Structure 1
Amino acid sequence: MTPTQTPPRFTLRIAALAWPILIGQLAVIANGVIDTAMTSRFSATDLATLALGASIYISIFVGLNGVLAAMSPVIGQLFGAQRFQDIGAEIKQGIWLALFLTIAGCIALAFPQPLLALAHASPELNEKSMLYLRILALALPATLGFRIYASLNTAIGQPKMVMALQVGALALKVPLNALFIFGGFGIPALGGPGCAVATAVIAWTLFLVGGLLLRTHSSYRAYGIFGTGLAAPKWAAQRELLKLGIPMGLSYLIEVTAFTFMALFIARLGATVVAGHQITANFGTVLYMLPLSIANATGILVAQAVGAREFDMARRIGFAGIRLAAILSVSIGGIVWLAREAIIRAYTPDASVAATALPLFVFIAFYQLFDSVQVTTAFVLRAYKVAVVPTLMYAFALWGVGLGGGYVLGLDPFGFSPPIFQGAAGFWMGNSTSLALVAAGLLWYLHLVQRNAGHER
């Protein structure tokens, strides 16, 4: 290992790649916050439309986006191996994959009646939610197309342009939302579905700008994306992407549905309890962006090292990223615990809701270590193109231990749950335990994968 490849150097490389990813992710989350804040000022029905429609859209989008995310480790390994022309070929195959995924996703969004039926909502709410989802079906091709551009930039270690575009999109969100939600300039007020129109306009803008940059910017010329002719879908390449992408998409879906069903079960305990849970979950999601960005950056650098056949460097980078994510997340978790009352007051003036949320914040501080370790380790494993076993671990831990254990503790159907864990706290205890299990399991499996990768030299 050269002097420029010492462990502190690895940490600095991870941090330099992680911070623009973090800002971009926060900008994307802020879009949802803006939608909620502005729609709530239009009507309660439209806010319910947004809540119902967004929950369906996110479930579909997260699964499809997870499949397409397989491109990042694949391109990262090609970049590390300096196989630049192969990156262009992979991008073209990724475009075909995005097209296939778009067809499936658009059908689900255009005909959402079976999913909406599960909510037993009023006819008016169903109608508005259906309009919201059908508008987003028009945005899906551009959204998945931009994901290819983002995956390329991140995989080659250049996420700043993606960050700049995501921040620029955030700046467009407020005026476009105002125009389509409340109406103006001859455009009728659409309420909740207006958020979807604004999202579609922004999605196509990002897609077109990203495509223009790929076509004209000199930094992409080496990859031969343009000027090398069209490429038909190659089923061998598609199988390779799906072999990694399907379990990745399932793992994302498992994470999302674990929290979705957790909220549905907690809703049985009353509006005050679910409101306290929602505050805790929302703040926990914001905190999760930090280890997620470090995980992204670590995974890309590991993939590049693996592609270059530098397996020892890949191992060192992987553990440097896991260590960095754990230290920062635990430190922030401690700060959150000390400032929990002020944070909750910023969310709600309702004393009963605040009292419900307060004891749940101990879990945010408690599980930061496990959450940061599991997500970073999962991304490192994906850098080695390993995803099936981690997905099985997620299913067992998050669904079995997290949801199942949370149900037993929180709702106490068997009458033996300790009082301290009855209610929302039981679900959060189950979730925290599941994250601890999956973190330990993934670390163990990473050790096996790295040992086997070392034998390939």
Structure 2
Amino acid sequence: MYETKTIKEKLKLFAVILIPILITQLSMYAMNFFDTVMSGNAGTEQLAGVAIGSSLWVPIFTGINGVLLALSPIVAQMVGAKKEKEIPETVRQGLLLSIAIAVVVAIVGFFLLDPILIRMDLEQEVRHVAKYYLIALGVGIVPLFVFNLLRSFMDALGQTRISMFIILIALPLNILFNYIFIFGKFGLPALGGIGAGLASALTYWISSGIAIWIVVKIRPFSIYSIFKDWKRPSLSYWWEQLRIGVPMGFAIFFETSIFAAVTLMMSVYDTNTIAAHQAAINFASFLYMIPLSIAMALTIVVGFEVGSKRYRHAQIYTYMGITMGVVIAFLCGFILYTFDETVARLYTNNPEVVKLTTQFIFYAIFFQFADAIGAPLQGALRGYKDVNITLIMALVSYWIIGLPSGWIFANYTDFGPFGYWMGIIFGLSAGAITLFFRLLALQKYYLRL
């Protein structure tokens, strides 16, 4: 990271940080994408089972990952304020915290998984796939959280190409493992959707191992000696990360969990509808990795500028990111509108599922516009370490506006299952609008300092 003066310099630095993040995020989500696509080719029940399992896991993972992502603005502001000596212990304590959180999640999941699935109105085969997909995935939960913590450290130093390098190694391995475990190759039994969970877990272990090796051996990470001089867990360090990370995590959780809640509510519909919904949301979420990457890059550059007390420069970066988000929204909308049936056939050849998927994709065109603006706004606010108001806004817009309105549309109009997607559009739009006004107020405050 370094200070910039002109718009051209800012665009260059932002691109250097953003492009590797974008490739990393697309590649990481591609793992879930290939899990879903390859499971769908193993059967509709396999696709529906992975859909239910993902709907339970993704909100938990993204919410907790929000806690781990708090390390990024913390370290970025330390770099901007020339406080590099504080970084090693901060990262070490973050690693201990990530492991502790992973253990807690595994224990809670062990006791709650069966009761949750039993209460859902699922076909027996779908419930079986969902359960053991999650159990297989859980084998890799500790290395997954460790990798994401180390990735936040790398990215905060502006070295986003390193995490890109790791994921570009992991993605083809994940596809290979999917092929082996889902379809039963090289003498192994065909596990269907359950094999997708096992493939992901194995990939998490490899990714984490590579990340640890790089932090130990490769400069500039090695100069921080992260894996030396371990101390006992420190509640003060944990509190600093949790104070920022928990609101970040819950804000992300409220957004992602609304999609999960919709999928779970769709369990009252037939398997074809669940599969079509999952296929459409899976591809739309794949496109969402673009504005999400812009948000992550904004957190780094805004955090650096705020740490350096260059508040006008932080503002310029913010509007640069929002503008990119709007441009991307039009591009993604065109892709979804033009290639809806092509996208649907990536997931299944079932004519009924293809037809339903194209209908869901039509609604995705509209809610991704709100996402393309809302995500960069959240990223900029995290750079300021402004997370509490964002949490409240996320709760209201998604769970008080979005989900209830979706339920009304689904149950009291002719929209049926598509009504839930109408609710998502309302919720995401409300969130983007409120976040924009919060950002304006925050920028005015800092510019007066």
Task: Give the TM-score normalised by structure 2.
Answer: 0.89
Using the TM superposition, give the Cα deviation of residue 129 of structure 1 relative to its aligned residue in structure 2, in angstroms: 4.6
Which position in structure 1 is the counterpart of 2:427?
434
Distance 1:191 1:329 in 2: 35
Using the TM superposition, give the Cα deviation of residue 174 of structure 1 relative to its aligned residue in structure 2, in angstroms: 3.0
- Select between 342-351 and 257-266 the one with higher mean Cα deviation: 342-351
Using the TM superposition, give the Cα deviation of residue 197 of structure 1 relative to its aligned residue in structure 2, in angstroms: 2.8
Q: How many residues align structurally?
A: 447
What letter matches 1:434 in structure 2? Answer: G
What letter matches 1:21 in structure 2? Answer: I
**Structure 1 residues 130 and 207: CA distance shift in structure 2, 3 A:** same
**Structure 1 residues 282 and 79: CA distance shift in structure 2, 3 A:** same
Which position in structure 1 is the counterpart of 2:206?
205
Using the TM superposition, give the Cα deviation of residue 215 of structure 1 relative to its aligned residue in structure 2, in angstroms: 0.8
What letter matches 2:286 in structure 1? Answer: V
Q: How does 1:409-424 map to 2 (within 5 A)?
A: 409-412=409-412, 417=413, 422-424=415-417
**Structure 1 residues 6 and 393: CA distance shift in structure 2, 3 A:** same
Which position in structure 2 is the counterpart of 1:235?
235
**Structure 1 residues 124 and 287: CA distance shift in structure 2, 3 A:** closer
Which position in structure 2 is the counterpart of 1:391?
391
Q: How does 1:152-167 map to 2 (within 5 A)?
A: 152-167=153-168
Instruction: Name the Cα RMSD after superposition.
Output: 2.9
Tell whether 2:220 aligns with 1:219: yes
What letter matches 2:397 in structure 1? Answer: A
- DSSP-derived class of the 1:5 partner: coil
Distance 1:425 1:43 in 2: 24
Distance 2:65 2:308 in 1: 27
**Structure 1 residues 429 and 40: CA distance shift in structure 2, 3 A:** closer
Using the TM superposition, give the Cα deviation of residue 19 of structure 1 relative to its aligned residue in structure 2, in angstroms: 1.6
Distance 1:344 1:53 in 2: 20
Q: Are the aligned partners of 1:110 and 1:133 in contact in 2 as well (CA < 8 Å)?
A: no
Q: Are the aligned partners of 2:77 and 2:308 in contact in 1 as well (CA < 8 Å)?
A: yes
What letter matches 1:200 in structure 2? Answer: A
Which position in structure 2 is the counterpart of 1:67?
67
Which position in structure 1 is the counterpart of 2:15?
15
Which position in structure 2 is the counterpart of 1:142?
143
Higher Rg of the two aligned structures: 1
What letter matches 2:168 in structure 1? Answer: V
Using the TM superposition, give the Cα deviation of residue 47 of structure 1 relative to its aligned residue in structure 2, in angstroms: 4.7
Q: How does 1:57-456 map to 2 (within 5 A)?
A: 57-111=57-111, 112-121=113-122, 129-183=130-184, 187-227=188-228, 229-268=229-268, 270=270, 273-340=273-340, 343-344=343-344, 353=353, 355-358=355-358, 360-412=360-412, 417=413, 422-456=415-449
- DSSP-derived class of the 2:139 partner: helix
Which position in structure 2 is the counterpart of 1:29?
29
Q: Are the aligned partners of 2:93 and 2:238 in contact in 1 as well (CA < 8 Å)?
A: yes
**Structure 1 residues 113 and 65: CA distance shift in structure 2, 3 A:** same
CA deviation map 1:393-430 (0-9, x unaligned):
11111112111112212321xxxx5x5xx234433332
Using the TM superposition, give the Cα deviation of residue 173 of structure 1 relative to its aligned residue in structure 2, in angstroms: 1.7
CA deviation map 1:279-314 (0-9, x unaligned):
432332122111111111111100111111111111
What letter matches 1:286 in structure 2? Answer: F
CA deviation map 1:303-356 (0-9, x unaligned):
111111111111111111111111222243245435545555666666655554
**Structure 1 residues 409 and 193: CA distance shift in structure 2, 3 A:** closer
What letter matches 1:160 in structure 2? Answer: R
What letter matches 2:422 in structure 1? Answer: M
**Structure 1 residues 42 and 362: CA distance shift in structure 2, 3 A:** closer
Distance 1:448 1:59 in 2: 29
Distance 1:335 1:51 in 2: 23
Distance 2:133 2:274 in 1: 25
Using the TM superposition, give the Cα deviation of residue 358 of structure 1 relative to its aligned residue in structure 2, in angstroms: 4.6
What letter matches 1:444 in structure 2? Answer: F
Percent identity over the alignment is: 29
Distance 1:271 1:45 in 2: 7
Q: Are the aligned partners of 2:65 and 2:148 in contact in 1 as well (CA < 8 Å)?
A: yes
Q: Are the aligned partners of 1:76 and 1:307 in contact in 2 as well (CA < 8 Å)?
A: yes
Using the TM superposition, give the Cα deviation of residue 452 of structure 1 relative to its aligned residue in structure 2, in angstroms: 2.2
- Select between 445-454 and 187-196 the one with higher mean Cα deviation: 187-196
Distance 1:293 1:199 in 2: 21
Using the TM superposition, give the Cα deviation of residue 379 of structure 1 relative to its aligned residue in structure 2, in angstroms: 1.1
Distance 2:52 2:364 in 1: 26
Any stretches of 5+ residues in structure 1 without a counterpart?
A: none
Task: Give the TM-score normalised by structure 1.
Answer: 0.88
**Structure 1 residues 138 and 280: CA distance shift in structure 2, 3 A:** closer
Q: Are the aligned partners of 1:11 and 1:324 in contact in 2 as well (CA < 8 Å)?
A: no
- Select between 102-111 and 240-249 the one with higher mean Cα deviation: 102-111
Using the TM superposition, give the Cα deviation of residue 443 of structure 1 relative to its aligned residue in structure 2, in angstroms: 0.9
Distance 2:351 2:30 in 1: 26
What letter matches 1:383 in structure 2? Answer: G
**Structure 1 residues 347 and 116: CA distance shift in structure 2, 3 A:** closer
Any stretches of 5+ residues in structure 2 without a counterpart?
A: none
- DSSP-derived class of the 2:220 partner: helix
- Select between 109-118 and 307-316 the one with higher mean Cα deviation: 109-118
What letter matches 1:154 in structure 2? Answer: D
Using the TM superposition, give the Cα deviation of residue 140 of structure 1 relative to its aligned residue in structure 2, in angstroms: 0.9
- Select between 424-433 and 306-315 the one with higher mean Cα deviation: 424-433
